[in-house]
Amino acid sequence: MRSRGVALALLALALAGCPAEHPQSALHPASQEAGRIARLWWVMLGVYGAVTLATFALLAAALLRRRGAEAPGGGVRFVVVAGIVVPTVILVGMLFYSLRVSTALHLPEAAFTVRVTGFQWWWDVRYPDHDIVTANELYVPVGEVVRLELRAADVVHSFWVPNLHGKMDLLPEHPNQFWLRAEVPGVYRGQCAEFCGLQHALMAFDVVALPKDEFERWVAERRRPHPEPADDELRLGQEVFFSAGCNACHAVGGTDAVALVGPDLTHIGTRRTLGAGTVANTRGDLAGWISQPQVLKPGNLMPPTYLEPRELHALVRWLETLR
């Protein structure tokens, strides 16, 4: 079973190569919704770009014409047509086109719901239909609509995965409804798009789109209980987790750690990054995050943890088994 968990983690890394050329780009859509938004952007670029070029051309003509020559286009009539009629037609036309795109972006029937809560500066992710809790990562099946319940725990945040959809704000005590539908397997980077404090720029997350059968295996792996520590070092690591006070902020499924202050660590061994996209989830970075999180992400709520080298190594090894 553990080998299957490792295989799924490797699959997620391999899928990063699918759209990895453009992992966070609104102009490289991987869903119907992002496609509509991208088309709107290109139309706006074409129309307003043409208007800008025409304006500069008229400005150049005005600067180069001979003093005393007749104004190009016939004076007052030209000003009325080019300065009032044409801009009005363009703006009204673009307004109706943008409203048409907005109207087409309505919540379709969803396969299941995911609850996403924004914190300063990380994301709590819960699958109530599957009894799974994770952080800073969303796993979704390719081709299926996933309904999102978005809320903020502190200040206003904004959920944005450019390749898959537009933006939606997360508000305290007022959940918003949103959805994602990935049509191409891969890993897509999301970002908080509303300034929310010191580490706003380091409040990222990954959306991992898996083929349906792989997503079902991912769900089965996440619902499997963790095995008991298999050796003395792992048992020491679990003991250090509690003796060092990590359980005061973090939850780990299947243990007495149930706190909700920081990210749930039940499956931290499979995560691609630490600190909401701050560093890669490697053994060295995990040890560094535990020891000096303020060096890596100043202002976050986690204090430094002072451990003997043997205790730190054991804790890191135990956390790596949480898959």
Q: Where are the domains of the chain?
A: 32-104, 112-223, 232-320
The pLDDT of residue 21: 65
Does residue 12 surpass a pLDDT of 50? Answer: no
Would you say domain 112-223 falls under CATH 2.40.10.120?
A: no
Domains 112-223 and 232-320 share a fold: yes
Tell me which H or E stretch contains 93.
helix 86-104
Q: Which pLDDT band holds residue 104 (cuts at 50, 70, 90)?
A: confident
- Please, what is the average pLDDT of the chain? 89
Task: Name the residue with higher pLDDT: 151 or 69.
Answer: 151
Q: Of 71-85, 102-116, 233-247, which one has max mean pLDDT?
A: 233-247
Give the phi and the psi of residue 248 in degrees, each rounded to 5: -70, -20
Find the range with the poorest average confidence among 38-42, 57-61, 124-128, 202-206. 57-61
Would the CA dihedral through 265, 153, 164, 38 be positive or negative? negative
Distance (Å, whole) CA 51 – CA 305: 59
**Distance separating alpha carbons of residues 94 and 97, to the nearest angstrom:** 5
Whether residue 300 is predicted with pLDDT greater than 70 in this model: the reply is yes
- The per-residue pLDDT for 61 is 81
pLDDT, residue 11, reads 43
Nearest to 71 by CA among 80, 292, 173, 195: 80
Proportion of the chain above pLDDT 70, given as a percent: 90
Q: Are 172 and 273 in contact (CB under 8 A)?
A: no
Q: What is the side-by-side order of every strand in the sheet holding 137-141?
A: 137-141, 204-210, 186-192, 157-160, 167-170
CATH superfamily of 232-320: Cupredoxins -  blue copper proteins (2.60.40.420)
Average pLDDT over residues 170-192: 94
Report whether pLDDT(193) > 90.
yes
d(CA 93, CA 109): 31
| pLDDT band per the 50, 70, 90 thresholds, residue 198 | very high
How much is the average pLDDT of 261-268? 94
pTM of the model: 0.83
